[in-house]
Amino acid sequence: MPISLASTSASSMHGAVVPIAYITGNGSSNGVTFSNIPQIYQDLYLVVTGGNSNSGADNPILVTFNGTYPNPLGWTYMSSNGSSASSSRTTSSDRIVFNGTATNIATSSNPGTYIAHFFNYANTSTYKTILCRSAEDANGSGQTALTIGLLRSTSAIVGFNVSQSSGNSTPTTTTFALYGVRTVGQ
């Protein structure tokens, strides 16, 4: 299936990554919510840099969609902590957990990072697949992970919520940046 790109040129094009929203943590256990997401991009791209509000607690990021907690959601992840690697899966959940952060080391001054890609989020013909790369390092401990999540719904993603795994509040030092990724014709 050959596809020629000869007619394209950079000079006539606009940047692909468009900032949509930037939110800081609100100190609430409900986390932060993005709603009324524009349906005009090819993909969404979420960048989270943040810490944990409660020592001793793990802090994966949880995502729910469209203002509801659809069940089932599921995800598969693999992670490495510097000495071993592992992979696991959860099915029939009401959330997707972006696994990988180590216990109690993602502090406000030494944050964990999450970059999540929501591909083809506005289409209404397929389920939605989300890829997240997460990492943190604390000078002697740390973890890096890759998570693939599945939202078994053909509805477009118009909003989602991000909160702490254990019900702890989202620190005010945590930042959330949402981008749209344009493609040709958008």
**Is 39 among the residues that bind another protein (CB under 8 A)?**
no
Check residue 56 for interaction with another protein (CB under 8 A): no
- Asked whether position 124 contacts another protein by CB under 8 A, the answer is no
Which two tokens mark 168? 């702890």
Which of 35, 68, 88, 103: binder of another protein (CB under 8 A)?
88
Which lies closer to another protein via its Cβ, residue 16 or residue 47?
16
Q: Cβ of 113: how many Cβ atoms within 10 Å?
A: 16
Of 56, 125, 139, 140, the one binding another protein by CB under 8 A: 125
92 binds another protein (CB under 8 A): yes
Q: Does 182 bind another protein (CB under 8 A)?
A: yes
Rounded least distance, CB 185 to another protein, Å: 7
Q: Between residues 9 and 36, which has the closer beta carbon with respect to another protein? A: 9
127 binds another protein (CB under 8 A): yes
Does 60 sit behind a cis peptide bond, omega within 30 degrees of 0 on the bond before it?
no
* Residue from 20, 8, 15 nearest 183 by CA: 15
What is the token pair recorded at 73? 């959601």
- Applying CB under 8 A, which part among 26-34, 103-111, 142-150, 162-170 lies near another protein? 142-150
Note whether 175 binds another protein by CB under 8 A: no
DSSP state for residue 53 in the 8-state scheme: S
Inter-residue contact 106 to 136 (CB < 8 Å): yes
Q: Which residue has the tokens 């469209």?
A: 66
Q: How far is CA 177 from the centre of its chain?
A: 10
In three-state secondary structure terms, 127 is coil
**Does position 89 bind another protein by CB under 8 A?**
yes
Decide if 132 contacts 105 (C-beta within 8 A): no
Strand order in the sheet with 96-98: 32-34, 160-164, 61-65, 96-98
Residue number with CB closer to another protein (57 or 131): 131
> Which residues in this chain contact another protein in the complex, by CB under 8 A?
1-6, 8-10, 13-17, 42-43, 72, 74-78, 85-89, 91-92, 117, 119-120, 123, 125-127, 129, 131, 133, 146-150, 152, 154, 181-186
